Amino acid sequence: MSVKFWTYLFVGASFALYLFIAWVCRVRDTKGFYVAGGGVPAAANGMATGADWMSAASFLGMAGLISVMGFSGGQFLMGWTGGYVLLALLLAPYLRKFGRFTVPDFIGDRYSISTSQTINHDSLLHRIIYNPARFVAVLCAIFISFTYVAGQMRGVGIVFSRFLEVEVNTGVIIGMCIVFVYATLGGMKGITWTQVAQYWVLITAFLVPAIAISIKLTGNPLPQIGMGSTITPGNPGEGAYLLEKLNAIHKDLGFSSYTDAFGFSGESGSKLLNMLFVTIALMVGTAGLPHVIVRFYTVKNVKAARWSAFWALLFIALLYLTAPATAVFARYSMINSINGTVVQKQEDKPSWFRNWEKTGLVVWLDNGDGMMRFSNGDDNEIYNKQPLPAASGLTWDQLLTDHAKWTVDNTQGADARAILRDNPDISAATKKKLKGPDVDIIVLASPEMAGLANWIIALVAAGGLAAALSTASGLLLVISSSVAHDLYYRIGNPNASEKSRLLLGRGVIGVAVVVAGLFGIYPPGFVSQVVAFAFGLAAASFFPAIVLGIFNKRVGTVPALMGMIVGLGFTASYIIGNVYLGMPTWCFGIAATGIGTVGMLLNFFVTLGLTPFFRAPSPEVIAMIDSVREPEKEGPAVMIETADVH
C-alpha cells in the first residue's frame, strides 16, 4: 500500500482522536480553561509537558541539525533538557505553591509596589503605574509566545505539503482549523489530555524508524547503544565502529570530524566559548518560557509539581536520547546512498532523493560525469534551493537551465556550482546552507534513506504533525491567558465577570490562530532565528526575576524591573543588530543564539547591584515569600470556591 494511503490513515485517525478528546474535556469555567482545574495527575502532566515542549523544531529539525553539526549539536540536547533541572529545582515547586494562573501573576504580585488594600486601583493608569513589573511581564510573555507559534504553523504546513501533496498554504489553513477547534473548546483541560495523546503519537513516530534503522545498521534494537556499536555485515564499512567509520568518511570528504570536541585555544577556543554560552542560554531560556512554566500550575500540589517535572524530563529524554542516534544513522545512510551513485536515468537516483527533489529541498548539480558526489570541497554536487538574495540577480530556474546545458557541453550555459560559490552577493552563511540537503528533511527522509516500509514513513508524518500541533495549541493558550487574564482582567478591568473573561479567552485564541496562520503563510523569513530570539529573551527577562523573587527576600520592585529591562534591552538589541543590521559579534565573538546568557548575567548583576539602594518589599510580599517557602502538606490545598481571589 502506498505512502499516501498510510498517511491519510494515520493522520486521519490521530486527528479524530484529538478532536474526540477535546469534545470529552470541554470546559465551562476559567480555572478549567487556564489551569485544567488544577487536577491533572503528575505523569499525564509530564507527557503533556513533553508534547508541549517538543515542537516541530525538536521533532523535525533537531536531529538534522545535529547530523550536520556533529559534537557541537550537543548544545541543543543539553540545553533543552538541562533547563528542566533548573525548572524542577528552582522554579516549579514554588510557583505551584504560589498558585496563581500565570507567570506575570507571580511577577506582578511579588514585585507589586503596594497591595490592593492600601491604594485604590480604580484607573487603568494606576494599575499600570503601581504594578509596572506585571505589565512588562505580560508584554514579554505575549511576544515570546507569538515568535514561537509562528514557526509551528509553518512546520504544520511543510509536513502537510509533502505528505498530503497539497500547497504549503493549504496545509497551514487545515492546521489552523484543527488547532482552533480543540483549543477553544477544551481550554487547558482539553489541550492537556490531547497533548497526552499527541505525546504517544510523536514518540512512537520517532522511535520506530530509529529502532528499525538501528537493527538494520548495527544489529542492536536500542539506537542509543547501536550508535556506539559496530556495523553489521551487508552494510558498507562492516565490522568497524559506526562513529569511527563516520569520522573516517568525514575526513575523506573534507568535513570536520563528527565526534571531535573543542580545545581551549585559538579558533577552537572561540567555538568552545560559543557552545558554552548557547548551551546556557537554551537551558535558562527553557526554564523561563511561559508555556512551559504554566504547566506546573496544572497539577494538584507541590509534590505533584516536583514529580511532573521528573516525568516531563523522562518523557522528553526518550526523544532526546534517540535524536543523536537518528542523526548519526541519517548522516551515514545519506552519504553512502549518494556518493558513487552512477545516474543514467531518473530511477538510478536514491528514492528518497527523487521524492524530496520535487520540493527543492535537495538538488543535484552534476559536474558532467553522471556520478553523484557529496563533499565539503569544490567538487560537491549536492545542494538545496535556499532562497537567493535578490541583489545577486540569480534565480534557481535560470541556474538549473544553464547548468543542464553546461553538463552536456561545457562551452554552453554555465556551471551553477561555480556561480553559487563565487557570487559576492550571497553571504558566507547562505553559501554554507546551500550545500547538502536541507537539514529539515533529515528526519522525514531517514526512513526512506534506510529503505524502511511505507507505513513507517507515514507514521513519521503523523508524528511531525502531532509535535507541531501540540506546541502550537499550548502556546496559543498562553497568549490567550496573557491577554484575557493578565491584561484584561488583572490590568484592564478587575470587575470582569467569569463569563466575559472566558468568552474573551476564546476570542483571543481565535485571533491568535489567525495571526499565527498568517505568519505561517507569509513567513517573515526569520522563523528559525526568531526561535533563538524567544529563548534569549526568556533567559534574560523572566528567569532572574523569578529566581530572585523566590530566593532573595530583599529584592524590591525597582531593581527587579531595571534588571528585566536591562537584560531584555541588551539581548534584544544585540540580536537585532547582529542578525538584521549586520553588526559584528562584538561581545567576545558570541553568536546571537548565545547572547541570552550575557543578558541573564547582566539582569542578575543589575538587580543585585541596585537592591541595597531601594526599598525592601512590603510586609505582605515578605509574608507571601515565606508562605511559598513552607513545606506543604499532601493532598489538595484550597478549594477554588472558598478562596478569596480568583
Q: Which of residues 85-114 bind other proteins (CB under 8 A)?
A: 85-86, 88-90, 93, 97-101, 109
Question: Does residue 135 interact with other proteins by CB under 8 A?
Answer: no
Minimum CB distance to other proteins smaller for 24 or for 643: 643
Chain residues 310-339 in contact with other proteins, contact rule CB under 8 A: 310, 313-314, 317, 320-321, 324
* Residue 118 CB, nearest approach to other proteins (Å): 12
Contact (Cβ atoms closer than 8 angstroms) between residue 432 and residue 440? no
Residues in a beta bridge with 128:
none
Nearest residue (CB) to other proteins, 277 versus 352: 277
Q: How far is the CB of 441 from other proteins (least distance, A)?
A: 21
Which of residues 289 and 621 has its CB atom nearest to other proteins in the complex?
Answer: 621
Helices (H) and strands (E) in the chain, counts: 28, 2
Task: Specify the residue, 326 or 611, whose C-beta has the smaller distance to other proteins.
Answer: 326
* 495 interacts with other proteins by CB under 8 A: no
DSSP SS3 for 364: strand
Q: Is 207 in the site for other proteins (CB under 8 A)?
A: no
Short-list 294, 280, 437, CA closest to 355: 437
CA dihedral 467, 468, 470, 471 (to 10 degrees): 110
Q: Cβ closer to other proteins: 226 or 517?
A: 226
For the bound state, the minimum distance from the C-beta of residue 546 to other proteins, rounded and expressed in Å, comes to 14
- 86 or 404: CB nearest other proteins: 86
Residue of 78, 139, 394, 587 that binds other proteins (CB under 8 A): 78
Number of residues that bind other proteins (CB under 8 A): 88
Least distance in Å: CB of 113 to other proteins? 13
Closest separation in Å from C-beta 624 to other proteins? 4
State the residue for C-alpha cell 523544531.
57
Residue list 576-615, contact with other proteins (CB under 8 A) = none
Question: Locate cell 527553557: which residue?
Answer: 286
CA distance 439 to 418: 22
9 near other proteins, judged by CB under 8 A: no
Which triple of cell numbers denotes residue 629?
A: 517557602
Count of CB atoms situated within 10 Å of the CB of 521: 18
The reply on whether position 132 binds other proteins by CB under 8 A is no
CA triple 233-452-200, angle to 5 deg: 120
Task: Kindly list the distances between the CA atom of residue 50 and the CA atoms of 127, 311, 539, 590, in Å, as whole numbers in the listed order.
Answer: 36, 9, 20, 30
Closest CA to 539 of 575, 578, 567, 570: 567
183 binding other proteins? (CB under 8 A): no
Work out how close the CB of 401 gets to other proteins at its nearest, in angstroms, rounded to a whole number: 43
Name the nearest CA neighbour of 636 among 190, 37, 49, 27. Answer: 37
395: left (phi over 0), alpha (psi -120 to 50) or beta: beta
88 or 606, CB closer to other proteins?
88
Interface residue with other proteins, options 9, 17, 26, 115 (CB under 8 A): 115
Distance (Å, whole) CA 38 – CA 552: 28
Footprint of other proteins on residues 506-535 (CB under 8 A)?
none
Closer of 316 and 419 to other proteins (Cβ) = 316
How many Å apart are CA 198 and CA 586, to the nearest integer?
Answer: 43
Q: Which residues contact 100 (CB under 8 A, 6 or more apart)?
A: 106, 109, 297
Percentages helix, strand, coil for the chain, rounded to the nearest 5? Answer: 70, 0, 25
Stretch that binds other proteins, among 47-55, 505-513, 533-541, 626-634 (CB under 8 A): 626-634
244/504 Cα distance (integer angstroms): 58
Q: Does position 498 bind other proteins by CB under 8 A? A: no
Scanning residues 30 to 69, which ones bind other proteins (CB under 8 A)?
31, 35, 37-39, 66
Residues 216-235 that bind other proteins (CB under 8 A): 224-225, 227-230
- Residue 200: CB minimum distance to other proteins, A: 19
**122 touching other proteins, by CB under 8 A:** no
For other proteins, which is the closer residue by CB, 296 or 383?
A: 296
Q: Report the site for other proteins in 255-314 (rule: CB under 8 A).
A: 259-263, 272, 275-276, 279-280, 283, 297, 300-303, 306-307, 309-310, 313-314
Q: List binders of other proteins among 396-455 (CB under 8 A).
A: none
Beta strands in 296-418 (DSSP E): 363-364, 382-383
Q: Is 420 helix (H, G, I), strand (E, B) or coil?
A: helix
